[in-house]
Amino acid sequence: MSQIQSWLVTGAAGCIGSNFVRYWCDQYPDNKVVVLDSLTYAGDRNSLADLETNPGFQFVQGDITDHHLVESLLREHQLNGIVNFAAESHVDRSISGPGTFISTNIVGTQRLLEAARQVWLGDGFSGDHRFHQVSTDEVYGSLGDDDPAFTEDHSYQPSSPYAASKASADHLVRSYQHTYGLHTSISNCSNNYGPYQFPEKLIGLTICNLVRGKALPIYGTGKNIRDWLFVDDHCRGIDRVLRSGEPGCTYNIGGGTELTNIELVERLCDLADRLIGDSKELQLRFPDSLAAKGVPSRSLIEFVSDRPGHDWRYAIDISRIERDLGYQPATQIDAGLSLTMRWYFDNEAWWQSVMDGSYQQWIDTQYSTGD
Ligand code: NAD
Ligand code: DAU
Protein backbone atom coordinates (compact mmCIF):
# COMPACT_ATOMS: atom_id res chain seq x y z
CA MET A 1 0.00 0.00 0.00
CA SER A 2 1.52 3.33 -1.08
CA GLN A 3 2.17 5.98 1.58
CA ILE A 4 2.51 8.93 -0.82
CA GLN A 5 0.82 12.02 0.63
CA SER A 6 1.88 14.95 -1.54
CA TRP A 7 0.75 15.15 -5.16
CA LEU A 8 1.07 17.20 -8.29
CA VAL A 9 -2.21 16.84 -10.16
CA THR A 10 -2.05 18.22 -13.69
CA GLY A 11 -5.05 19.26 -15.78
CA ALA A 12 -7.27 19.42 -12.71
CA ALA A 13 -9.23 22.47 -13.90
CA GLY A 14 -10.81 20.10 -16.45
CA CYS A 15 -13.63 17.65 -15.93
CA ILE A 16 -12.08 14.48 -14.55
CA GLY A 17 -9.19 16.21 -12.80
CA SER A 18 -11.46 18.59 -10.88
CA ASN A 19 -13.71 15.73 -9.81
CA PHE A 20 -10.62 13.74 -8.82
CA VAL A 21 -9.11 16.52 -6.67
CA ARG A 22 -12.47 17.06 -4.94
CA TYR A 23 -12.68 13.31 -4.30
CA TRP A 24 -9.07 13.14 -3.11
CA CYS A 25 -9.28 16.12 -0.73
CA ASP A 26 -12.43 14.60 0.73
CA GLN A 27 -10.91 11.11 1.18
CA TYR A 28 -7.44 12.23 2.29
CA PRO A 29 -7.77 15.66 3.92
CA ASP A 30 -4.20 15.51 5.27
CA ASN A 31 -2.65 15.17 1.80
CA LYS A 32 -1.03 18.04 -0.07
CA VAL A 33 -2.38 18.61 -3.59
CA VAL A 34 -0.75 21.09 -5.98
CA VAL A 35 -2.75 21.54 -9.17
CA LEU A 36 -0.92 22.55 -12.35
CA ASP A 37 -3.15 23.64 -15.22
CA SER A 38 -2.56 26.02 -18.10
CA LEU A 39 -6.30 26.86 -18.32
CA THR A 40 -6.94 26.12 -21.98
CA TYR A 41 -10.48 26.56 -23.32
CA ALA A 42 -11.32 23.31 -21.43
CA GLY A 43 -9.94 24.39 -18.06
CA ASP A 44 -11.84 26.58 -15.63
CA ARG A 45 -10.52 27.55 -12.23
CA ASN A 46 -14.14 27.91 -11.05
CA SER A 47 -14.41 24.13 -11.28
CA LEU A 48 -12.13 24.04 -8.22
CA ALA A 49 -13.56 27.09 -6.42
CA ASP A 50 -14.87 25.14 -3.42
CA LEU A 51 -11.38 23.69 -2.79
CA GLU A 52 -9.40 26.93 -2.79
CA THR A 53 -9.69 27.38 0.99
CA ASN A 54 -8.59 23.83 1.69
CA PRO A 55 -5.24 24.07 3.59
CA GLY A 56 -3.52 21.32 1.56
CA PHE A 57 -4.62 22.68 -1.82
CA GLN A 58 -2.76 25.03 -4.13
CA PHE A 59 -3.46 26.08 -7.72
CA VAL A 60 -0.63 26.98 -10.11
CA GLN A 61 -1.34 28.20 -13.62
CA GLY A 62 1.29 26.77 -15.93
CA ASP A 63 2.04 24.37 -18.75
CA ILE A 64 3.12 20.75 -18.37
CA THR A 65 5.61 21.29 -21.20
CA ASP A 66 7.46 23.72 -18.88
CA HIS A 67 9.99 21.25 -17.50
CA HIS A 68 11.66 23.82 -15.22
CA LEU A 69 8.38 24.83 -13.62
CA VAL A 70 7.42 21.22 -13.00
CA GLU A 71 10.82 20.40 -11.52
CA SER A 72 10.72 23.41 -9.22
CA LEU A 73 7.18 22.55 -8.04
CA LEU A 74 8.26 19.00 -7.22
CA ARG A 75 11.25 20.26 -5.24
CA GLU A 76 9.64 23.28 -3.57
CA HIS A 77 6.56 21.39 -2.35
CA GLN A 78 8.36 18.07 -1.89
CA LEU A 79 5.84 16.28 -4.05
CA ASN A 80 6.42 12.60 -4.65
CA GLY A 81 3.38 11.73 -6.73
CA ILE A 82 2.14 12.99 -10.10
CA VAL A 83 -1.29 12.23 -11.53
CA ASN A 84 -1.35 13.45 -15.11
CA PHE A 85 -4.80 14.42 -16.38
CA ALA A 86 -3.54 17.34 -18.50
CA ALA A 87 -4.35 16.76 -22.14
CA GLU A 88 -6.16 17.93 -25.18
CA SER A 89 -9.04 15.51 -24.83
CA HIS A 90 -11.62 16.07 -27.57
CA VAL A 91 -11.42 13.77 -30.61
CA ASP A 92 -13.15 16.21 -33.00
CA ARG A 93 -10.63 18.93 -32.18
CA SER A 94 -7.78 16.50 -32.84
CA ILE A 95 -9.19 15.99 -36.32
CA SER A 96 -9.52 19.70 -37.08
CA GLY A 97 -6.17 20.67 -35.49
CA PRO A 98 -3.83 17.91 -34.28
CA GLY A 99 -0.83 20.15 -33.45
CA THR A 100 -1.64 20.91 -29.81
CA PHE A 101 -2.41 17.23 -29.19
CA ILE A 102 1.18 16.41 -30.06
CA SER A 103 2.68 19.16 -27.92
CA THR A 104 0.53 18.64 -24.82
CA ASN A 105 -0.25 14.93 -24.88
CA ILE A 106 3.11 13.63 -26.10
CA VAL A 107 5.76 16.30 -25.45
CA GLY A 108 4.02 17.43 -22.25
CA THR A 109 3.95 13.89 -20.85
CA GLN A 110 7.62 13.39 -21.68
CA ARG A 111 8.56 16.68 -19.96
CA LEU A 112 6.65 15.63 -16.84
CA LEU A 113 8.37 12.25 -16.87
CA GLU A 114 11.75 13.89 -17.27
CA ALA A 115 11.16 16.33 -14.41
CA ALA A 116 10.06 13.41 -12.23
CA ARG A 117 13.18 11.45 -13.20
CA GLN A 118 15.48 14.38 -12.41
CA VAL A 119 13.94 14.95 -9.00
CA TRP A 120 12.92 11.50 -7.79
CA LEU A 121 15.81 9.50 -9.19
CA GLY A 122 18.39 12.25 -8.60
CA ASP A 123 20.59 12.78 -5.57
CA GLY A 124 19.01 13.75 -2.31
CA PHE A 125 15.56 12.26 -2.82
CA SER A 126 14.42 9.43 -0.60
CA GLY A 127 11.11 7.68 -0.20
CA ASP A 128 8.55 6.26 -2.54
CA HIS A 129 7.33 8.00 -5.69
CA ARG A 130 4.70 7.42 -8.36
CA PHE A 131 3.92 8.83 -11.81
CA HIS A 132 0.36 7.98 -12.83
CA GLN A 133 -0.81 8.51 -16.40
CA VAL A 134 -4.54 8.90 -16.98
CA SER A 135 -5.13 7.29 -20.35
CA THR A 136 -7.99 6.12 -22.49
CA ASP A 137 -9.51 2.98 -24.01
CA GLU A 138 -9.17 4.71 -27.40
CA VAL A 139 -5.51 3.59 -27.59
CA TYR A 140 -6.78 0.07 -28.35
CA GLY A 141 -8.64 1.14 -31.51
CA SER A 142 -12.13 0.10 -32.46
CA LEU A 143 -14.18 -3.10 -31.96
CA GLY A 144 -16.79 -4.81 -34.13
CA ASP A 145 -20.19 -5.63 -32.65
CA ASP A 146 -19.22 -9.18 -31.61
CA ASP A 147 -15.59 -8.65 -30.58
CA PRO A 148 -14.60 -9.31 -26.98
CA ALA A 149 -13.99 -6.21 -24.86
CA PHE A 150 -10.48 -4.68 -24.70
CA THR A 151 -8.17 -6.24 -22.13
CA GLU A 152 -4.90 -4.61 -21.04
CA ASP A 153 -3.09 -6.99 -23.42
CA HIS A 154 -4.93 -5.77 -26.51
CA SER A 155 -2.56 -4.30 -29.08
CA TYR A 156 -2.42 -0.53 -29.49
CA GLN A 157 -4.25 0.49 -32.70
CA PRO A 158 -5.23 4.14 -32.22
CA SER A 159 -7.38 5.68 -34.93
CA SER A 160 -7.62 9.44 -34.32
CA PRO A 161 -4.78 11.92 -33.76
CA TYR A 162 -6.07 12.20 -30.16
CA ALA A 163 -5.87 8.44 -29.60
CA ALA A 164 -2.46 8.25 -31.29
CA SER A 165 -1.12 11.00 -29.03
CA LYS A 166 -2.42 9.22 -25.91
CA ALA A 167 -0.92 5.94 -27.15
CA SER A 168 2.47 7.63 -27.62
CA ALA A 169 2.29 9.03 -24.11
CA ASP A 170 1.55 5.56 -22.69
CA HIS A 171 4.61 4.17 -24.49
CA LEU A 172 6.77 6.94 -23.05
CA VAL A 173 5.50 6.24 -19.54
CA ARG A 174 6.36 2.55 -19.90
CA SER A 175 9.78 3.41 -21.31
CA TYR A 176 10.61 5.52 -18.23
CA GLN A 177 9.64 2.63 -15.97
CA HIS A 178 11.61 0.10 -18.03
CA THR A 179 14.71 2.17 -18.76
CA TYR A 180 15.14 4.31 -15.67
CA GLY A 181 13.13 2.44 -13.05
CA LEU A 182 10.75 5.35 -12.51
CA HIS A 183 7.70 4.03 -10.63
CA THR A 184 4.78 4.49 -13.01
CA SER A 185 1.25 3.29 -13.56
CA ILE A 186 -1.36 3.78 -16.29
CA SER A 187 -5.14 3.56 -16.26
CA ASN A 188 -7.05 3.22 -19.54
CA CYS A 189 -10.60 4.39 -19.05
CA SER A 190 -13.80 4.41 -21.07
CA ASN A 191 -16.10 7.43 -21.72
CA ASN A 192 -16.69 9.53 -18.61
CA TYR A 193 -19.68 11.70 -17.83
CA GLY A 194 -20.67 13.84 -14.86
CA PRO A 195 -20.38 17.34 -13.40
CA TYR A 196 -17.98 19.91 -14.88
CA GLN A 197 -17.72 18.22 -18.28
CA PHE A 198 -17.06 20.75 -21.03
CA PRO A 199 -20.25 20.74 -23.11
CA GLU A 200 -18.58 19.69 -26.33
CA LYS A 201 -18.69 16.01 -25.33
CA LEU A 202 -21.84 14.07 -26.16
CA ILE A 203 -23.62 14.03 -22.79
CA GLY A 204 -22.84 17.59 -21.69
CA LEU A 205 -23.65 18.94 -25.14
CA THR A 206 -26.93 17.05 -25.32
CA ILE A 207 -28.08 18.30 -21.91
CA CYS A 208 -27.15 21.94 -22.65
CA ASN A 209 -28.91 21.76 -26.03
CA LEU A 210 -31.99 20.10 -24.51
CA VAL A 211 -32.56 22.95 -22.05
CA ARG A 212 -32.04 25.55 -24.79
CA GLY A 213 -34.31 23.78 -27.29
CA LYS A 214 -31.41 23.37 -29.74
CA ALA A 215 -30.81 20.52 -32.19
CA LEU A 216 -29.12 17.37 -30.86
CA PRO A 217 -26.48 16.37 -33.43
CA ILE A 218 -25.93 12.63 -33.90
CA TYR A 219 -23.00 11.64 -36.07
CA GLY A 220 -23.65 9.12 -38.88
CA THR A 221 -26.19 6.43 -38.06
CA GLY A 222 -26.03 6.92 -34.28
CA LYS A 223 -25.24 3.21 -33.92
CA ASN A 224 -21.64 3.68 -32.69
CA ILE A 225 -21.22 2.22 -29.21
CA ARG A 226 -19.48 3.66 -26.15
CA ASP A 227 -19.05 2.31 -22.62
CA TRP A 228 -20.11 5.00 -20.12
CA LEU A 229 -18.63 5.54 -16.66
CA PHE A 230 -19.74 8.06 -14.04
CA VAL A 231 -16.74 10.25 -13.24
CA ASP A 232 -16.74 9.48 -9.47
CA ASP A 233 -16.26 5.81 -10.30
CA HIS A 234 -13.25 6.71 -12.43
CA CYS A 235 -11.80 8.65 -9.47
CA ARG A 236 -12.29 5.67 -7.16
CA GLY A 237 -10.58 3.43 -9.70
CA ILE A 238 -7.54 5.71 -9.92
CA ASP A 239 -7.44 5.81 -6.11
CA ARG A 240 -7.19 1.99 -6.03
CA VAL A 241 -4.38 2.04 -8.58
CA LEU A 242 -2.45 4.77 -6.74
CA ARG A 243 -2.72 3.12 -3.35
CA SER A 244 -2.47 -0.56 -4.24
CA GLY A 245 -1.38 -0.97 -7.88
CA GLU A 246 2.16 -2.23 -8.42
CA PRO A 247 4.70 0.06 -10.16
CA GLY A 248 4.69 -0.72 -13.85
CA CYS A 249 1.06 -1.80 -13.79
CA THR A 250 -1.70 -0.94 -16.25
CA TYR A 251 -5.40 -1.19 -15.42
CA ASN A 252 -8.53 -0.79 -17.50
CA ILE A 253 -11.34 1.15 -15.83
CA GLY A 254 -14.85 1.09 -17.29
CA GLY A 255 -18.53 1.19 -16.48
CA GLY A 256 -19.76 -1.99 -18.17
CA THR A 257 -22.56 0.07 -19.74
CA GLU A 258 -22.47 -0.16 -23.51
CA LEU A 259 -24.98 2.02 -25.33
CA THR A 260 -25.37 3.19 -28.90
CA ASN A 261 -25.22 6.97 -29.19
CA ILE A 262 -28.84 7.14 -30.28
CA GLU A 263 -29.97 5.02 -27.30
CA LEU A 264 -28.08 7.31 -24.97
CA VAL A 265 -29.44 10.54 -26.46
CA GLU A 266 -33.00 9.15 -26.43
CA ARG A 267 -32.60 8.32 -22.73
CA LEU A 268 -31.47 11.88 -22.07
CA CYS A 269 -34.44 13.27 -24.02
CA ASP A 270 -36.89 11.16 -22.03
CA LEU A 271 -35.19 12.11 -18.78
CA ALA A 272 -35.42 15.83 -19.62
CA ASP A 273 -39.11 15.38 -20.51
CA ARG A 274 -39.74 13.79 -17.10
CA LEU A 275 -37.66 16.15 -14.96
CA ILE A 276 -38.74 19.38 -16.65
CA GLY A 277 -42.27 18.14 -17.34
CA ASP A 278 -42.79 17.48 -13.61
CA SER A 279 -41.39 20.79 -12.37
CA LYS A 280 -43.02 24.20 -12.83
CA GLU A 281 -39.80 25.80 -11.57
CA LEU A 282 -37.67 24.11 -14.27
CA GLN A 283 -40.25 25.01 -16.93
CA LEU A 284 -39.90 28.66 -15.92
CA ARG A 285 -36.10 28.47 -15.84
CA PHE A 286 -35.80 26.70 -19.20
CA PRO A 287 -38.70 28.09 -21.27
CA ASP A 288 -36.93 27.25 -24.57
CA SER A 289 -36.77 23.53 -23.81
CA LEU A 290 -39.34 21.44 -25.68
CA ALA A 291 -40.15 19.72 -22.39
CA ALA A 292 -41.41 23.07 -21.01
CA LYS A 293 -43.76 23.28 -24.02
CA GLY A 294 -45.04 19.74 -23.62
CA VAL A 295 -43.38 18.61 -26.87
CA PRO A 296 -41.23 15.41 -26.80
CA SER A 297 -37.52 16.34 -26.75
CA ARG A 298 -36.71 13.46 -29.12
CA SER A 299 -37.89 15.71 -31.95
CA LEU A 300 -34.68 17.74 -31.48
CA ILE A 301 -32.54 14.80 -32.67
CA GLU A 302 -30.77 15.57 -35.95
CA PHE A 303 -28.53 13.14 -37.84
CA VAL A 304 -25.45 14.94 -39.18
CA SER A 305 -22.31 13.99 -41.15
CA ASP A 306 -20.19 11.32 -39.54
CA ARG A 307 -16.92 12.04 -37.72
CA PRO A 308 -14.00 11.17 -40.07
CA GLY A 309 -12.46 7.84 -39.02
CA HIS A 310 -15.17 7.40 -36.37
CA ASP A 311 -14.38 4.41 -34.12
CA TRP A 312 -17.30 2.00 -34.14
CA ARG A 313 -17.33 0.49 -30.68
CA TYR A 314 -15.42 0.66 -27.40
CA ALA A 315 -15.95 -1.94 -24.68
CA ILE A 316 -13.59 -2.47 -21.82
CA ASP A 317 -12.80 -5.57 -19.78
CA ILE A 318 -12.18 -4.59 -16.16
CA SER A 319 -11.41 -8.09 -14.80
CA ARG A 320 -7.88 -7.14 -13.76
CA ILE A 321 -8.79 -4.17 -11.56
CA GLU A 322 -11.80 -6.09 -10.16
CA ARG A 323 -9.71 -9.13 -9.30
CA ASP A 324 -6.46 -7.50 -8.14
CA LEU A 325 -7.70 -4.27 -6.56
CA GLY A 326 -11.32 -5.09 -5.66
CA TYR A 327 -12.73 -2.31 -7.86
CA GLN A 328 -16.34 -2.16 -9.10
CA PRO A 329 -18.17 0.81 -10.64
CA ALA A 330 -20.93 1.83 -8.25
CA THR A 331 -23.19 4.20 -10.20
CA GLN A 332 -25.88 2.76 -12.48
CA ILE A 333 -26.26 4.62 -15.76
CA ASP A 334 -29.79 5.97 -15.13
CA ALA A 335 -28.86 7.26 -11.68
CA GLY A 336 -25.66 8.81 -13.07
CA LEU A 337 -27.47 10.50 -15.98
CA SER A 338 -30.10 11.90 -13.65
CA LEU A 339 -27.46 13.24 -11.26
CA THR A 340 -25.56 14.78 -14.17
CA MET A 341 -28.61 16.38 -15.74
CA ARG A 342 -29.63 17.88 -12.39
CA TRP A 343 -26.07 19.22 -11.98
CA TYR A 344 -26.30 21.02 -15.34
CA PHE A 345 -29.76 22.38 -14.38
CA ASP A 346 -28.27 23.79 -11.17
CA ASN A 347 -25.06 25.12 -12.68
CA GLU A 348 -26.19 27.04 -15.74
CA ALA A 349 -23.82 29.93 -14.96
CA TRP A 350 -20.85 27.52 -15.13
CA TRP A 351 -21.70 26.00 -18.50
CA GLN A 352 -22.88 29.24 -20.03
CA SER A 353 -19.57 30.87 -19.14
CA VAL A 354 -17.35 28.03 -20.39
CA MET A 355 -19.37 27.83 -23.60
CA ASP A 356 -19.18 31.55 -24.30
CA GLY A 357 -16.53 32.54 -26.79
CA SER A 358 -14.10 29.69 -27.09
CA TYR A 359 -16.64 26.99 -27.83
CA GLN A 360 -18.64 29.00 -30.32
CA GLN A 361 -15.42 30.13 -32.03
CA TRP A 362 -14.35 26.51 -32.44
CA ILE A 363 -17.72 25.41 -33.81
CA ASP A 364 -17.51 28.30 -36.31
CA THR A 365 -14.05 27.28 -37.54
CA GLN A 366 -14.43 23.51 -37.33
CA TYR A 367 -12.49 21.71 -40.07
CA SER A 368 -11.11 24.97 -41.46
CA THR A 369 -7.62 24.60 -39.89
CA GLY A 370 -5.05 21.88 -40.38
CA ASP A 371 -1.83 22.53 -38.49
P1 NAD B 1 -10.63 18.12 -20.18
O2 NAD B 1 -10.44 18.51 -21.59
O3 NAD B 1 -11.93 18.39 -19.50
O4 NAD B 1 -9.50 18.85 -19.27
C5 NAD B 1 -8.17 18.89 -19.65
C6 NAD B 1 -7.46 19.86 -18.70
O7 NAD B 1 -6.08 19.88 -19.05
C8 NAD B 1 -7.96 21.30 -18.80
O9 NAD B 1 -8.14 21.84 -17.51
C10 NAD B 1 -6.83 22.03 -19.53
O11 NAD B 1 -6.74 23.40 -19.18
C12 NAD B 1 -5.63 21.24 -19.06
N13 NAD B 1 -4.49 21.33 -20.00
C14 NAD B 1 -4.52 21.15 -21.35
N15 NAD B 1 -3.29 21.34 -21.86
C16 NAD B 1 -2.46 21.61 -20.82
C17 NAD B 1 -1.08 21.88 -20.71
N18 NAD B 1 -0.29 21.88 -21.79
N19 NAD B 1 -0.56 22.11 -19.49
C20 NAD B 1 -1.35 22.11 -18.38
N21 NAD B 1 -2.68 21.88 -18.43
C22 NAD B 1 -3.23 21.62 -19.63
O23 NAD B 1 -10.24 16.60 -20.09
P24 NAD B 1 -10.93 15.40 -19.29
O25 NAD B 1 -12.08 14.91 -20.06
O26 NAD B 1 -11.09 15.81 -17.89
O27 NAD B 1 -9.78 14.30 -19.41
C28 NAD B 1 -8.72 14.26 -18.48
C29 NAD B 1 -7.76 13.14 -18.86
O30 NAD B 1 -8.46 11.91 -18.89
C31 NAD B 1 -7.15 13.31 -20.25
O32 NAD B 1 -5.82 12.89 -20.19
C33 NAD B 1 -7.97 12.36 -21.12
O34 NAD B 1 -7.19 11.90 -22.20
C35 NAD B 1 -8.29 11.27 -20.15
N36 NAD B 1 -9.52 10.52 -20.40
C37 NAD B 1 -10.69 11.20 -20.61
C38 NAD B 1 -11.87 10.47 -20.77
C39 NAD B 1 -13.20 11.16 -20.99
O40 NAD B 1 -14.19 10.51 -21.24
N41 NAD B 1 -13.28 12.47 -20.91
C42 NAD B 1 -11.84 9.07 -20.74
C43 NAD B 1 -10.61 8.43 -20.53
C44 NAD B 1 -9.46 9.17 -20.35
O1 DAU C 1 -13.32 6.51 -24.71
C2 DAU C 1 -12.72 7.48 -23.92
C3 DAU C 1 -12.74 8.80 -24.66
O4 DAU C 1 -14.08 9.26 -24.62
C5 DAU C 1 -11.81 9.84 -24.05
O6 DAU C 1 -10.49 9.39 -24.15
C7 DAU C 1 -11.97 11.19 -24.75
O8 DAU C 1 -11.18 12.16 -24.10
C9 DAU C 1 -13.42 11.60 -24.68
O10 DAU C 1 -13.62 12.81 -25.39
C11 DAU C 1 -14.33 10.51 -25.24
O12 DAU C 1 -14.17 10.39 -26.67
P13 DAU C 1 -15.43 10.16 -27.64
O14 DAU C 1 -15.08 10.62 -28.98
O15 DAU C 1 -15.96 8.78 -27.49
O16 DAU C 1 -16.48 11.16 -26.91
P17 DAU C 1 -17.52 12.22 -27.50
O18 DAU C 1 -18.35 12.67 -26.35
O19 DAU C 1 -16.88 13.23 -28.34
O20 DAU C 1 -18.42 11.32 -28.44
C21 DAU C 1 -19.12 10.18 -27.95
C22 DAU C 1 -19.81 9.53 -29.12
O23 DAU C 1 -20.86 10.39 -29.57
C24 DAU C 1 -18.91 9.32 -30.32
O25 DAU C 1 -19.30 8.12 -30.97
C26 DAU C 1 -19.21 10.52 -31.23
C27 DAU C 1 -20.66 10.80 -30.94
N28 DAU C 1 -21.09 12.20 -31.00
C29 DAU C 1 -20.37 13.14 -30.33
C30 DAU C 1 -20.76 14.47 -30.35
C31 DAU C 1 -19.94 15.51 -29.62
C32 DAU C 1 -22.25 12.55 -31.69
O33 DAU C 1 -22.92 11.68 -32.27
N34 DAU C 1 -22.63 13.86 -31.70
C35 DAU C 1 -21.93 14.84 -31.07
O36 DAU C 1 -22.33 16.03 -31.13
Task: Give a yes or no: residue 343 inside a domain.
Answer: no
Percent of the chain with pLDDT over 90: 93
- Provide the CATH number for the domain around residue 173: 3.40.50.720
pLDDT digits (tens, 9 = 90+) for 316-369: 999 999 999 999 999 999 999 999 999 999 999 999 988 876 666 666 565 444
Residue 95 lies in a domain: yes
- The CA 192 to ligand 2 mean position distance, Å, reads 10
* Nearest ligand, measured from the Cα of 193: 1
The per-residue pLDDT for 362 is 60
Ligand 1 touching residue 14 (CB < 6 A):
yes
Please report whether residue 359 resides in a domain.
no
Higher pLDDT pick, 170 / 127 = 170
In a domain, 128, yes or no: yes
Ligand 2 atom nearest to CA at 222: 33
Q: Confidence band (pLDDT; 50, 70, 90) for 179?
A: very high
User: Among residues of the chain, what percentage have pLDDT more than 70?
Assistant: 96
Residue 349 lies inside a defined structural domain of this protein: no
Closest ligand by atom to 159 CA: 2
pLDDT given for residue 357 in this prediction: 60
SS (H, E, C) the chain: CCCCCEEEEECCCCHHHHHHHHHHHHHCCCCEEEEEECCCCCCCHHHHHHHCCCCCEEEEECCCCCHHHHHHHHHHCCCCEEEECCCCCCHHHHHHCCHHHHHHHHHHHHHHHHHHHHHHCCCCCCCCCEEEEEEEHHHHCCCCCCCCCECCCCCCCCCCHHHHHHHHHHHHHHHHHHHHCCCEEEEEECEEECCCCCCCCHHHHHHHHHHHCCCEEEECCCCCEEEEEEHHHHHHHHHHHHHHCCCCEEEEECCCCEEEHHHHHHHHHHHHHHHHHCCHHHHHHCCCCCHHHCCCHHHHEEEECCCCCCCCECCECCHHHHHHHCCCCCCCHHHHHHHHHHHHHHCHHHHHHHHCCHHHHHHHHCCCCCC
Enter the pTM of the model. 0.97
Q: 219 C-alpha to center of ligand 2: Å?
A: 10
Q: Is the pLDDT of residue 39 over 80?
A: yes
Cβ of 138 less than 6 Å from ligand 2: yes
Residue 20, domain extent:
6-193+229-256+310-331
**Residues labelled catalytic:** 137-138, 162
Ligand 1 and 42: CB distance under 6 A: yes
Structural domain count, the chain: 1
